[in-house]
Structure 1
Amino acid sequence: MTGFALDPEQEQECERLRALATERLRPLAEKGEPGRVNRPLLAALGEHGLLERVFAAGALELCLLRESLAYGCTEAETALALQGLGAHPVLRAGSPEQCARWLPGVRAGRTVAAFALSEPGAGSDAAALALAARPVAGGAGGGWRLTGEKRWISNAPEADFYTVFARTGEGPGARGVSAFLVPADRPGLGGEALDMLSPHAIGALTFDGVPVGPEDLLGEPGGGFRVAMDTLNRFRPSVGAFAVGMARAALDATLAHTAHRAAFGGVLGDLQAVAHRVAEMATRTEAARLLVYAAAAAYDADSGSPDVPRRAAMAKLLATESAQYVVDHAVQLHGAVALQRGHLLEHLYREVRAPRIYEGASEVQRTIIARSLYAQHASAEQHAPAEVDR
């Protein structure tokens, strides 16, 4: 890829994925029950090798994968992304035993993973987690008991295992958070589904003294915040890609509609107000796409660079806000037909709202960006040569 223009092979692969999503995956999605995990859809993602690619792909390839699937079937894209989000901490920080036990099933679409970070009082502020991991007799060597609640967890309460972040208290704030792999059948773990706008499963989890041991840790005690942030930095640009895929679908639908819809002796697209709005939709979509690709390329070049969190935040912020704008204006230009149940834009209108909140709300992304900019400015001032009096 040069200048963030896709090469012919990438374009062909994206087209293949859009067709696969439309022709093979969307029918499975339509048979699923809203608010429930669609296991046949997950199995199909595994059969087509798409879940394997979530773990093997670089950040840019992951973005192209998510954007292409989102264009043709948002449910397939979301199912794929949630598998990656829930299992990425296992891949990066899990023991060989944990990886061998859980990841093959995730890749095949047989095992459902979930990322359990948010709580009723701690959503985007991961350092404010309250779920308590209290040591049992014998200290950390004897394990912990998890007590508290998680909320707004995708794939809950139907997942087969959860990546759970809890406060073990090695230090204040972020330094006292650890990550655990918790199987769904662990005693004391309960859950309920939440009736949300999103079509996929979202639920709450309760932890009533759930036992976890050193073998359930992902990484080191007190290292959970780093595991969470590494996962979010990896996936935030691709959340932007999901948004870009929805925006491109809405834009294409709008072009088709306004090019043929009769209005005032011509077609809608002949009206300057309509044409200018479509131009704005296209410009915002393209700007978001380029920023997403740039953030992904930066991650692939050096995932540990201090610029990566800022670039990821910028990509997610611009792409999700732009997609909201594009879908909203697409509905407006279509009129009442776009509000009918089953219409593409009615579906996208419901889907496009949540990405501005999850994996860090837009306000949090702005905070990340601003802090990074001011830190960079302070560092530049500190290392600038002193002025010499003349």
Structure 2
Amino acid sequence: MSIIYTPEQIQIRDLVRRVAAERVAPRANEIDATAEYPQDMFLLLKELGLFSLPFPEEYGGMGSMVTACLAIEELGRVCYNTAYLLLVQWVPFVAILASGSEEQRRRYLPGLSTGDVRGALALTEPQSGSDVAGIKTKAERRGDSYVITGSKSWCTNAGLADFILVAAKTGDSGSRGNIGLFLMETDRAGFELGRKEDKMGARGVPSWQLHFDDVELPLSSRIGGAETGFKVVMEALNHSRPIIGARGVGLAQGALDHSINFVKDRHAFGKSVADFQGVRWMLADMAIQIEASRHLVYAAAAAVDRGVRGNDLAQMAAVAKCHATDTAMRVATDAVQLFGASGISNEFPINRYFRDAKVLQIIEGTNQIQRNIISRNLLSDR
């Protein structure tokens, strides 16, 4: 089935594509090299109103995950980090919209939609990345409050966020599961930013370690029930995985674009490198895999827009995320090969695509975890 976009979606895609080429691409190498947060790119996205795209109309958005993925793809085609600025707003949004109280939605969603408020999700811990149910950070009920103790790692955007969604165990310290999800403003006493990670890729949007030393939160900070945080997080990840897939598609397309331009301009053995059949077949294989990933990603995004939930969405989202990000890594690897010695030089941008592609195979659930989800659904009795 071909991908069919509405006229409004095409208009937004073309606008983002033009802005990406004219204003984002010239900054991409510098953002990666300096590993400094691109505040100018954040303000650009805010000016264009792109943060609101997946939000319901009541919050100024289109309520469209497909349109959100189009924006992510076009930005990711030239700059992984600028596309990432959208994603870090959207993961907290999905959790709050799906399971937050009316008061929580009114308090946080309008600001997230406009970019006036920045959020983050604190899930990963030093001893438990993929094993979400095994987290150790503790949320202890004390009267009318919860007290959070523990540590997190790899919390992207934490140092810039106004609030953080914190996953913490509400059951016995030795138990698995029983996880709550809590909204915490970053000015809370007892909360401390730890070391900023020095990352191989995704360098422009920093990730931090976090420490919670008896951070007291009101009962109203909890999203959903005391022990439903795991389900809230999993559903939020299901919604965000098509966006990760769109980043993979955009990154792969950008790597292919650079490869085509490079081989057309290079000559060897008396002819254009683009005339060698082996090179042409590499380019063809790259294009085939990108197009397959694109269809999987937008099928999953369209499922979100149709209201698909639970295992059905989890399956589509896992397939899309896994295939698209594996494709990004494969295409980026082949692109480096086509560039030859230039591919490993910082003088050319293709090594940035290679490093960023590897990150995509790990974040929002490693691709091994995606394969676990897919196979579990295949083998389950529905």
TM-score (norm. length: structure 2): 0.90
**Paired residues, what number?**
371
Residue aligning to 2:331: 326
Which of residues 349, 352, 356 is equivalent to 1:344?
349
Change (3 A) 1:183 1:26: farther
Which of residues 315, 329, 337 is equivalent to 2:320?
315
1:257 offset after TM fit, Å? 1.7
Q: Which deviates the most, 208-217 or 25-34?
A: 25-34
Change (3 A) 1:260 1:40: closer
1:314 offset after TM fit, Å? 0.6
Change (3 A) 1:181 1:9: closer
Separation in 1, partners of 2:358, 2:49? 29
Alignment of 1:154-193 (within 5 A): 154-169=156-171, 173-174=176-177, 176-192=178-194, 193=196
Which of residues 77, 95, 100 is equivalent to 1:89?
95
Letter in 1 for 2:152: K
Q: Does structure 2 retain, via aligned residues, the 8 Å contact 1:146–1:210? A: yes
Q: Which deviates the most, 97-106 or 39-48?
A: 97-106
Letter in 2 for 1:153: C
Residue aligning to 1:24: 23
Letter in 2 for 1:337: S
Change (3 A) 1:332 1:68: same
Q: Which deviates the most, 227-236 or 106-115?
A: 106-115
1:135 offset after TM fit, Å? 1.7
Residue aligning to 1:148: 150
1:9 offset after TM fit, Å? 5.6
Residue aligning to 1:69: 75
What SS does the aligned partner of 1:149 have? strand
1:328 offset after TM fit, Å? 1.0
Q: Does structure 2 retain, via aligned residues, the 8 Å contact 1:43–1:108? A: no
Residue aligning to 1:356: 361
Change (3 A) 1:342 1:202: farther
Letter in 1 for 2:222: L
Letter in 2 for 1:173: R
1:290 offset after TM fit, Å? 1.1
Query: Is 1:49 aligned with 2:52?
Result: no
1:157 offset after TM fit, Å? 2.8
Query: Is 1:289 aligned with 2:291?
Result: no
Separation in 2, partners of 1:326, 1:165? 35
Change (3 A) 1:247 1:45: same
What SS does the aligned partner of 2:53 have? helix
TM-score (norm. length: structure 1): 0.89
Separation in 2, partners of 1:38, 1:97? 32
What SS does the aligned partner of 2:165 have? strand
The CA RMSD over aligned residues, in Å, is 2.2
Separation in 1, partners of 2:156, 2:141? 28
Alignment of 1:205-354 (within 5 A): 205-341=210-346, 343-354=348-359
Q: Does structure 2 retain, via aligned residues, the 8 Å contact 1:29–1:41? A: no
What SS does the aligned partner of 1:306 have? helix
Q: Which deviates the most, 333-342 or 283-292?
A: 333-342
Change (3 A) 1:5 1:337: farther
1:12 offset after TM fit, Å? 4.5
Q: Per-residue displacement from partner, 1:257-287 (whole Å, max 9, x unpaired)? A: 2223112121112111111111111111111
Which of residues 86, 89, 101 is equivalent to 2:107?
101
Q: Does structure 2 retain, via aligned residues, the 8 Å contact 1:130–1:166? A: yes
Q: Per-residue displacement from partner, 1:216-241 (whole Å, max 9, x unpaired)? A: 11122111112101110101011011
Residue aligning to 1:196: 199
Q: Which deviates the most, 82-91 or 102-111?
A: 102-111
Name the % identity. 35
Separation in 2, partners of 1:292, 1:78? 17
Q: Does structure 1 retain, via aligned residues, the 8 Å contact 2:119–2:158? A: no
Q: Does structure 1 retain, via aligned residues, the 8 Å contact 2:9–2:67? A: no
Q: Does structure 1 retain, via aligned residues, the 8 Å contact 2:249–2:290? A: yes
What SS does the aligned partner of 1:353 have? helix
Residue aligning to 1:388: none
Separation in 2, partners of 1:358, 1:298? 22
Q: Per-residue displacement from partner, 1:355-376 (whole Å, max 9, x unpaired)? A: 100110010000000000001x
Separation in 2, partners of 1:354, 1:44? 24
Change (3 A) 1:69 1:166: same
Change (3 A) 1:183 1:30: farther
Q: Does structure 2 retain, via aligned residues, the 8 Å contact 1:298–1:308? A: yes
What 5-or-longer segments of structure 2 have no aligned partner?
56-60
Separation in 1, partners of 2:35, 2:164? 18
Change (3 A) 1:36 1:98: farther
